[in-house]
Amino acid sequence: MTVEYTPAFKRTRRARSRDVLRELVSETALDAGKLILPIFVDARSSKVEDIVGMPGVSRYPIDRLADKLAESVELGIKNFIFFGIPETKDSTGSGAWHESGVVQRALAEARKSFGERITLFADTCLCEYTSHGHCGVVKGDNIDNDETLKLLARTAVSQARAGADAVAPSAMMDGQVLVIRNALDQEGFKETLVMSYSSKFASSLYAPFRNAAESAPKFGNRRTYQMDVRNRREALREIRIDESEGADIVMVKPALPNLDIITEARGFTDLPIAAYQVSGEYTMVKSAAAMDYLDEKAVMLETLISIKRAGADIIITYFADDFARLTD
């Protein structure tokens, strides 16, 4: 038989014709084990309280935390990052590093209840604990970078002592990774990881979180320390700096508006990259779905896949439990 070769257009649809084929050639896989669920712990409350503006997300008292973690662990979620709402706030945010602070107590309770079965991250910042709502020490109208570093280091050590597997500095102070890494090592916590909020942009998408954590600044804004959303090269430089200072994981926040940063960072760093799908991203999907404007499950999956496809190894998301239920 003589076979004649005739050039033809490429039929890429062949591999899309059936579910099993599409699954076979799929390039991006989502795994609940790569998700981190944010948890708000409230030292002032004795009951679980729904958060206005974040459907399905709540604040938990210490004595109800284990129940919440058990529910998520049963679904397959094993990684958590804690944010605290203290009983009182002051100008320096001293509740952030107090040995009986809300996050420290939450870490101890979680470790006691679940041992090594879960991974515990602690947000390392002052904004939730300061009366002015800024992430550092205020002097006049400015945030004092170097004085803030001392308090962040103190906070990180206290969190490691309470049981954190990883501390996550989010204040966007210059040198925060280096100072925290040195402090942890000097205090004997050489195995504690640092997951740095490396490229954290001054985003409008944080609004629901600031309501949940009661951490909105009382004056000015955070644009002198969080990044300008217009700057790509600066974001990549921040990631390189944090890697050089000893970060174990680097982070891009928010996730969806910065997929380009995730992809470019993936091209030069071998460190795990985390991406934070922030409160505003979550709330937009939930709100639109509540109005029947879109399919919540489909959009959730599409957004998470997009973040993963861009190059993120780890995704911090309020959708973690929802995703686990969908894929169980």
| Active site members | 200, 253
Main-chain dihedrals φ then ψ at residue 46, nearest 5 degrees: -110, 5
Distance in angstroms (rounded) separating the CA atoms of residues 276 and 255: 5
Tokens of 154: 């103190």
Cα dist from 178 to 174, 181, 182, 190, whole Å: 9, 5, 6, 13
User: CB-based burial of residue 121 (10 Å sphere; 0-12 exposed, 13-18 middle, 19+ buried)?
Assistant: buried
Distance in angstroms (rounded) separating the CA atoms of residues 288 and 300: 12
Is it true that the peptide bond before 254 is cis, omega within 30 degrees of 0?
yes
- Pairing of the two strands 58-60 and 137-139: unpaired
Distance in angstroms (rounded) separating the CA atoms of residues 106 and 288: 33
Cα dist from 194 to 36, 43, 303, whole Å: 15, 25, 26
Distance in angstroms (rounded) separating the CA atoms of residues 155 and 151: 6
Dihedral sign for Cα 222, 264, 236, 242, please: positive
Distance in angstroms (rounded) separating the CA atoms of residues 47 and 61: 6
Cα dist from 70 to 65, 199, 205, 272, whole Å: 9, 32, 29, 27
How many residues does this entry show for the chain? 328
DSSP state of 133: -
Amino acid at 290: A
